[in-house]
Amino acid sequence: MSDAFTTRTLRITTGNRETVHDLTGACASFLREVATGRDGLLNVFTPHATTGVAILETGAGSDDDLLAALHTLLPADDRWQHRHGSPGHGRDHVLPALVPPHATIPVVSGEMALGTWQSVCLVDTNKDNPERQVRLSFLG
Which residue in 93, 19, 98, 107 sits closest to 63, CA to CA? Answer: 19
β-pairing verdict for 19-22 and 119-124: antiparallel
pLDDT digits (tens, 9 = 90+) for 111-132: 999 999 999 999 999 989 999 9
Which residue in 130, 92, 123, 131 sits closest to 16, CA to CA? Answer: 130
Structure confidence at residue 36 (pLDDT)? 93
Q: Are 55 and 118 in contact (CB under 8 A)?
A: yes
Structure confidence at residue 86 (pLDDT)? 84
Name the strand (E) or helix (H) holding 93: helix 90-98
pLDDT digits (tens, 9 = 90+) for 18-60: 999 999 999 999 999 999 999 999 999 999 999 999 999 998 9
Structure confidence at residue 2 (pLDDT)? 57
CB-based burial of residue 34 (10 Å sphere; 0-12 exposed, 13-18 middle, 19+ buried)?
buried
Checking if the pLDDT of 1 tops 60, the result is: no
pLDDT digits (tens, 9 = 90+) for 52-92: 999 999 989 999 999 999 999 999 898 989 878 888 889 99
What values do phi and psi take at 101, rounded to 5? -80, 20
Separation between Cα atoms, residue 33 and residue 49, nearest integer Å: 29
Separation in Å, CA 132 to CA 15, 46, 78, 135: 10, 8, 25, 10
Structure confidence at residue 59 (pLDDT)? 87
Band (pLDDT 50/70/90 cuts) for residue 4 is: confident
